[in-house]
Amino acid sequence: MSYEHLWGVMGGTPHAQAEMTPAQTESAPSRPHLSLVPEPEDYDEFDPFDPASATNEQWQDRALCAQTDPEAFFPEKGGSTREAKKICTRCSVRTECLEYALAHDERFGIWGGLSERERRRLKRGII
């Protein structure tokens, strides 16, 4: 397919650079500099670890699911959730897990012994 019929429409040749006058260059909005790495002046001094200020997400280290196959907790659509729910019934941090899933709107997997559908129903007050 030829694009020659568009050459006059799009500035002469495909991907042609637009010529800007100095006045246009000054009035053109500039793009902000984006970086995935913070600048050194954005770093704060490292604070020592304070266990009292640690998040409650440390329950994840004690969760039984962290010691088992994650595929059991994220079955394919229509797959069995029985094994994951059985593990959840024996887990000491089941309540924290469910609270986390509800607070963070986890949409996939078994969390706190409940499936996605069961968590949605719980949020709506059906369960």
Asked whether residue 76 is marked as a ligand-binding residue, the answer is no
pLDDT of residue 73: 92
- Name the amino acid, one letter, at 32: P
pLDDT digits (tens, 9 = 90+) for 83-114: 999 999 999 999 999 999 999 999 999 999 99
In the chain, where are the structural domains located? 57-124
What's the whole-model pTM score? 0.54
Asked whether residue 97 is marked as a ligand-binding residue, the answer is yes
**What are the residues facing 111 on neighbouring strands?**
114
- The Cα-based distances of 82 to 16, 19, 28, 79, 112 in angstroms read 61, 66, 60, 9, 13
94 in Cβ contact with 112 (< 8 Å): yes
- Name the amino acid, one letter, at 40: P
The helix/strand/coil state of 114 is strand
- Per-residue pLDDT band for 49 (boundaries 50, 70, 90) equals very low
pLDDT of 45 over the 50 cut: yes
Asked whether residue 13 is marked as a ligand-binding residue, the answer is no
